[in-house]
Structure 1
Amino acid sequence: MTTQPTHLRGPRPASLVMILVMAIAAALGAAAPAGAASPGRTVVATDGGLVRGTLDGGTRSFQGIPYAAPPVGELRWRTPEAAEPWRGVRDATTPGPACAQNEGELPGGSTSEDCLYLNVTTPTASTDEPRPVILWLHGGGFFMGAGHNYDPSRLATRGNAVVVTINYRLGMFGFLGVPGLADSGTFGLADQQAAMAWVQRNAVAFGGDPDNVTLAGQSAGAVSTCAQLASPGAAGLFDRAIMQSGSCDLAWLDNTVYRGQPADDILLPVETVQERGRALATDLGCMSDNPDAVLECLRALPVEILKPVMDGFIQPAYGTELLPVAPSEAFSTGAFNRVPVLSGHTRDESTLEVVGYEGGTAPMSEQTYGEVMTETFGDDRAAVEEVYPRGEYESGAAAWAAIATDAKWASGQYETSLALSRFVPVHQYEFSDPAPPFSSPAPMTMGAYHTSDLWSFFALSGEEPTFTAEQRRLSEQMIDYWAAFAATGSPDRAGGPAWPRFDGAANTPYVQSLAPGAIGAVDVAAEHHLDFWRQHQSAGG
């Protein structure tokens, strides 16, 4: 049985990539009473019932709050339904289970389908005004991750914001498509909208402003945020959008992350997703001329049977009720949820993928580099090597990482910003720390690898970063930028180095480089050879 390609799949669990990712890697409150947002209060009334959280220094934390019913049994592969209210005071001091996934970011993975929980972190400092809300969508390639792996205490306190992190269904539980299955390929996105609706109903209870919600995410979370910009169902549920290392134009070349990986796009037509589901149902012995019988068979399969193949469905579908058209089409016509956007990527995204290219712990070898260049580009190899001369890089792995960074990450991020900037304010950045936390020791120079910007905002999987003095100042400035954007729609109001808007009509649209001791303009299009990749793609390369 063949599973579909996974564009962000890390190597096997023992790999250096995974180590880096893991290290990085009774009373019903229908409405919150006036005193519920008191900064020292650990019992809060939500619309589902009372929850008791914890006080920890300058933050209050409430974890494991259900925002939708468990999507199990007949609710597997259905849009989320309302969570059942509870009596008494619900313990909210520990996170809920992570959504089903294989081993990776979570040691041992997870087998839970009862996973639609969220976590709320607020400052304890008093305030006379409701705080902006930042709803964070985790990354992980749509096949791994959990909201509780992101401790937002620094972001909440310095940013004076209410931060909500969530789980959403992953892999085939979140993005399976089968002919006859309503909402094929969009269940994880529907979960996110249910969480956004929960925030609208409950923000006030935690001191947040439901009329000032920023939807933010990194990698798959950024792609999700981008998709929500194009989803009619998300209209009115958020007021700003932050996309870190991911966009609706994310696409990849053959062999990008592993040898033999086919070129593909992050978002697919629903017909493609359903055809893949038809093939899977056949392999699992569930195919039938009766769509209801197919679904009954699939819903009866235990998680353990589905986990080996669940990573085959990690590309959300459009042409659906939730996502009627490809977001690129919606952005080109202006038919999307028009809110201010902050978007960007890291300077060396793909080093995190290439560092484990040879089976998990070794970077791409020189021999593999040569073979992959020919396999990927064929007669165009010389043209690519003219732009990326092998001699200018420390290794073939570094050369391939530069190619993959530009073609996969920088190009898509920039094209999405160009389209959006015709209709809404856009601020673009590049995170450029040459030696961020957990980048060494490694068998190749990592630079500003994929996920390295996250340390500026979060403790990841219980690990706090070790910063130099300049890195700490950069982290504080980035939190100030993000918080100003969440509060006002413009990071330029944070103070510090100016950050002009991205103007797609300018000869050189402004992009802010974020590096320790060096914040200022960068010509991303020139640095990442984006004109070359636009021509390459238009020529069918």
Structure 2
Amino acid sequence: MRHRLGGFLTAALLTLTCFGVPASATVDTGQVVRTPSGLLRGSIAERTRLFQGIPFAAPPVGAARWRPPDAADRWTGIRDATKPGARCAQDAGQGTPVSTEEDCLYLNVTTPRTPPRHRPLPVLVWLHSGGFISGSGADQHVERLAAAGRMIIVTPNYRLGVFAYFGHPTLAGSGGFGLQDQQAALRWVRTHIAAFGGDPGNVTLGGSSAGAMTACAHLTSPTAAGLFHRLLMQSGGCSQTWPANGIYPGQPPGATWIPSAEVASAGVSLAVARGCRDPASAVDCLRQVPAKDLLYDEVASALPGPGYGNDVLPVDPAQALRDGRFHRVPVLTGTTRDEGRHFAAVLWPQPITPQRYQETLVESFGDHAPRVLARYSIEAFGSAGLAWATVLGDRVWTCTALSGMRSLARHTRVYAYEFADRAAPPFTEFPADIPSGAYHTSEVAYLIDVEGFRPELSPEQRRLATTMTRQWAGFVAGGTPNGHGLPQWPAFTFPATPEKTLSLDTGPGGVHTVDDLAQRHNCAFWSTIPA
């Protein structure tokens, strides 16, 4: 009987598709939903529904390369939404599959299997990581969080690398096309998410690493006003800066956000290198270059990251935070205890010898290198590699994040955490002298699964994951991670002291409030070392 009924419903849907569905009709059989753009057929799992490969903007190809995203076309019939769309053009440098596809502006929607009966569900738009050059929304397997947290999660693609952050003196929007894509996805959510049972008036924007950085940028973007109502940032933010060698060997000193003049200058260099020498036609000339040729172009690979000084980011987001010029929404943000171990272990040639460590300190801090060496001695950490990893974690990640938290807390409610489980499953083999610890983005695995990395958590870690899921869900639903039976999470306040941060760890008392984050990571010391 069940099979006959299912066949009857399928036939009925096909009949409606062929002869037209009345505009007033509601089509939601669980597997098929009606959206403002057309009907979608997704897939149903034990605890979730998943709709993949949904176009949220027109393909940015041909003459549309390096232009703001246009609205996607509607479709007729039932669109198959059981497979993800193409990932945006990227090479395999971050361990992700190669893609030369520019038709990539697709997103995925994951919902609890049981639709809401009385009121719509809160929505989380999760921006993938990947250093602005790799990754895709489909790499983020968010079923656990969507089901347990009773929320709808949207995972969009967005343009990467040269296709996202190219600039030129003649090109409007220089350096901001990837951010424009993300805002187009947020506008799609505003008009489409109700079809899936979501509340367009209750949207949290979040991400980790590069996803957190871009999420923070939208906090300061005038064109993002009203598109989200809370912000969730993990291991990233607006205020990150670094000295020379701050993330990988040979990296010049800098910051996440690049002035538009610098972005445009780099674009001129690319145009000249590709033979597009006439400034008036350089951008159109570059639009004729195949994606694969740009992807593997040495000059293109050296282009700076996201730029400000355009419509999306008129000013440096870090400065906007310091000035208090950002959207007043609640924020949940944090870092891991050992942020720098990922970078020292994965991006640096091994082993990091004592000589190389001391030479790097001189390259990075000049005349201040002896002070840094005294504070982060090889003897204190047991190896040069671990000492350098701790320098990176404290200087580049935690103390800059703390600076951003303080700027935010002057004007809005902030909940801050430090993920401290040093037994977190490593995503790759770490050198013996740099144990993985609570490495960069290690907390992500306690909330969602990432493509290629689904570790087995211990019973204690699963309990921590359950606590974190409830806290994150509470924040997404109502702006606070506090709830019945959960550890009390006080707001982070500044300039009032002490600054309360929630330490997330396993074991008895593993989740507890701390007020020594700045001391633990020597932030007062780092404030005396010039950038």
Q: TM-score, normalised by structure 1?
A: 0.90
Partner of 1:15: none
2:79 equivalent among 90, 96, 108: 90
Residues of 1 paired with 2:166 and 2:99: CA distance? 18
Distance 2:23 2:386 in 1: 55
For 1:432, the equivalent position in structure 2 comes to 420
- CA contact under 8 A between 1:67 and 1:118: conserved in structure 2? yes
Equivalent residue in structure 2 for 1:524, among 497, 517, 520: 517
CA 1:333–1:380 in structure 2 vs 1: closer, same or farther (change >3 Å)? closer
Equivalent of 1:65, from 35, 44, 54? Answer: 54
**How big is the shift at 1:365?**
2.8
Distance in structure 1 (CA, Å) of the matches to 2:245 and 2:220 = 29
Per-residue deviation, residues 61-117 of structure 1 (Å, max 9, x unmatched): 000000000000000000000111111001000100000001134544111000000
Comparing 462-471 and 481-490, the one that deviates more: 462-471
- How far did residue 506 of structure 1 move? 2.5
- Which amino acid letter does the alignment assign opposite residue 383 of structure 1? R
Deviation per CA, 1:466-487, whole angstroms, max 9, x where unpaired?
A: 0001100111111111110011
SS in 1 for 2:30: coil
CA gap of 1:440–1:149, structure 2 versus 1, over 3 A, is closer
1:155 positional shift: 0.4
Q: Which residue of 2 aligns with 1:413?
A: 401
Q: SS state of the match for residue 519, structure 2?
A: helix
Deviation at residue 256 of structure 1 after TM alignment: 2.3
- Give the 4+ runs in structure 1 shifted more than 4 A: 26-35
Aligned partners of 2:291, 2:106: CA distance in 1, in Å? 19
Aligned to 2:258: 268
Q: Secondary structure at the match of 1:195?
A: helix
Determine the C-alpha separation between the residues in 1 that align with 2:77 and 2:59: 20
The answer to whether the 8 A contact 1:48-1:85 is kept is yes
Q: Is residue 299 of structure 2 the alignment partner of residue 307 of structure 1? A: no
Quick one: distance in 2 between partners of 1:335 and 1:453?
30
- CA spacing shift, 1:81–1:440, aligned 2, 3 Å: closer
* Residue equivalent to 1:486: 476
Q: Secondary structure at the match of 1:434?
A: coil
Give CA deviations for 1:432-454 in whole Å, capped at 9, x if unaligned.
11011126742130101112111
Amino acid at match of 2:353: S
Taking CA–CA contacts closer than 8 Å with sequence separation of 6 or more, which of the two structures ends up with the larger relative contact order? 1
Distance 1:168 1:271 in 2: 23
Q: Measured at CA, do residues 278 and 32 of structure 1 come closer, stay the same or move farther in structure 2, by a change above 3 Å?
A: farther
1:372–1:329 CA distance, 2 compared to 1 (3 A): closer
How many equivalent pairs are there?
A: 506
Distance 1:208 1:277, change over 3 A: same
Contact preservation (8 Å) 1:153, 1:458: yes
1:130 to 102, 120, 126: 120
Report % sequence identity: 44
Match of 2:168 in 1: 178
Quick check: 1:184–1:317 contact (8 Å CA) kept in 2?
Answer: yes
Q: 1:196 aligns with which of 186, 193, 207?
A: 186
TM-score with structure 2 length normalisation?
A: 0.92
Q: Is the 8 A contact 2:34 2:40 kept in 1?
A: yes
What residue is the counterpart of 1:316 in the other structure?
306
- Which segment drifts farther, 193-202 or 97-106? 97-106
Match of 1:255 among 230, 233, 245: 245
Distance apart, 1:268 and its partner CA: 1.1
1:59-458 alignment, distance < 5 Å: 59-105=48-94, 107-127=96-116, 128-290=118-280, 293-309=281-297, 310-313=300-303, 315-359=305-349, 362-438=350-426, 441-443=429-431, 444-458=434-448
Map of 1:6 onto structure 2: none
Larger Rg belongs to? 2
Change (3 A) 1:105 1:149: farther
Residue type of the partner of 1:434? R
- Is the 2:334–2:401 contact (alpha carbons within 8 Å) kept by the matching residues of 1? yes
The question of whether the paired residues in 2 share the 8 Å contact of 1:32 and 1:205 is answered with no
Matched AA of 1:406: D
Measured against aligned partners, the alpha-carbon deviations of 1:345-388 in whole angstroms (never above 9, x if no partner) come to 111111111113444xx342333212111222222112112221
Q: Following TM superposition, by how much is the alpha carbon of 1:508 offset from its aligned partner in structure 2, in angstroms?
A: 2.4
- Can you give the 5+ residue segments of structure 1 that lack an aligned partner in the other structure? 1-25
CA distance in 1, matches of 2:464, 2:115: 26
- In 2, the alpha carbon distance for the partners of 1:358 and 1:188 equals 28
Contact 1:138–1:221 (8 Å) recurs in 2: yes
Superposed displacement of residue 498, structure 1: 0.4
* Residues 108 and 491 (structure 1), Cα distance of their counterparts in 2 relative to 1, 3 Å cut: closer
Cα deviations across residues 272-291 of structure 1 (Å, max 9, x unaligned)?
1111111121112112232x
Asked whether the 8 Å contact 1:358–1:365 carries over to 2, the reply is no
Aligned-pair CA distance for 1:493: 2.9
In structure 2, the gaps of 5 or more residues are 1-16
The structure-2 alpha-carbon separation of the partners of 1:215 and 1:33, relative to structure 1 and needing over 3 Å to count, comes to: farther
